[in-house]
Amino acid sequence: MQYRLLAVFLAAVVSSPVVHAGSSDSVLAISTDNDLFAPTQTDRDYTAGMAITYSSNSEEFIGNPVSRISRRLDGFLLPGIGTDTEKAKGAALEFGVYGFTPEEIKATEINLDDRPYSSLVYFSSSQSYQSLGNDSGWTTSMTLGVLGLDVFKAGQNSVHKVIGSERARGWGHQISNGGEPTFRYSAAYHQYLDNSAPDQQFKVTYFGSVGYLTEFGAALVFRDGLISSPDNRFNPELMAYGERAPGVAASGGRENYFWGGMALKARAYNAFLQGQFRDSDHELDADDLNILLAEVWAGYTHSFVASTELSYVLRVQSSEIKDGTGNRTLAWGGLVFSKRL
């Protein structure tokens, strides 16, 4: 299944024309997250992820077959999206994988006092829309994935072997072990604030998603410095763990800026902790989880020669689990290397 998803991603990108500088902005980005990139240097909770993203504001790419399906879903769920007053201004396709582990990874038995192992292989399609006055906009994302495959397990243990760390031995108990399809649809409304300037931008975002992560919330986002990428495709508040497609910005020039923000969300369901339709060896109940979550992040983006950029972000999130060993703050760092095509 994971290879079919990768084939769909590559086919969609290859079949979509790449329009070069002067007529549009198109970006290919490779991103990786790891809790070892954070100052705490832990190896637990959201432990790592990797993704490849292609985004563009060209009409040809916005009209690719996968994005057309995603935009039809937008039009059905959000009437008015895609019309003359809210036009599509960009699209992105992403393929990735990420995973979660408990604190103790050397043991093969289940620790019912901590979080379960879980992982996701996914393919997502995202769109950004902007109002005629450019003072507001929407971002939507449709994600198809598979829980419980051995892809992340193999990758994690291969890396641990190279660096001399302990192998994670409890993957046989992961959520939906062996594989289970899953889905998520998300939508966010952005209000760009009046005090924004070319070198200083602020916005408020109201967001929600339904599927393997079901939640609703609001975020305040800023960036400050030398900025050339458009507002409507800079959405770090919409990065769900390793999923970055809604937030990869395409830059038409040099950039050098700091960015950050904070979000408060109410989460009703998390398949990475609660499981899905299949029975799993270790699942948590809704009563075991915190409904209200707070998240803060800070990052830095710098452009180099040949239209390349490197970004780093540190994220901290309040505990997802109420009690026991799993009741702890989550922290992880991320790197994004992007190339304008």
CATH 3.40.50.720 fits 2-17+25-340, yes or no: no
Nearest C-alpha neighbor of 213 from the set 153, 148, 143, 262: 143
Domain locations along the chain: 2-17+25-340
Name the CA radius of gyration of the chain, rounded: 19
CB within 8 Å of 76: residues ≥ 6 apart: none
Q: Is the pTM of this model over 0.75?
A: yes
**Strands of the chain, DSSP E:** 26-34, 45-56, 86-101, 118-131, 136-147, 180-192, 200-211, 213-226, 256-270, 292-304, 308-317, 330-340
Per-residue pLDDT for the chain (341 aa), expressed as one digit of tens each? 444 444 444 444 444 444 333 345 788 999 999 888 888 777 789 989 999 999 988 888 888 899 999 989 998 898 877 665 567 788 999 999 999 999 998 888 999 999 999 999 999 999 988 876 678 889 999 999 999 999 998 888 888 778 777 788 899 999 999 999 999 999 999 998 876 677 888 999 999 999 999 999 999 999 999 988 877 778 999 999 989 877 666 566 788 999 999 999 999 999 999 999 999 999 999 999 999 999 999 999 999 887 889 999 999 999 999 999 999 999 999 999 998 88
Q: 3-class secondary structure for 193-254?
A: CCCCECCEEEEEEEEEEEECEEEEEEEEEEEEEECCCCHHHCCHHHCECCECHHHCCCCCCC
Encode 193-214: b = buried (16+ Cβ within 10 Å), e = exposed.
eeeeeeeebbbbbebebbbbbb
Alpha-carbon distance 249 to 208, whole Å?
21
Nearest C-alpha neighbor of 144 from the set 168, 126, 162, 130: 126
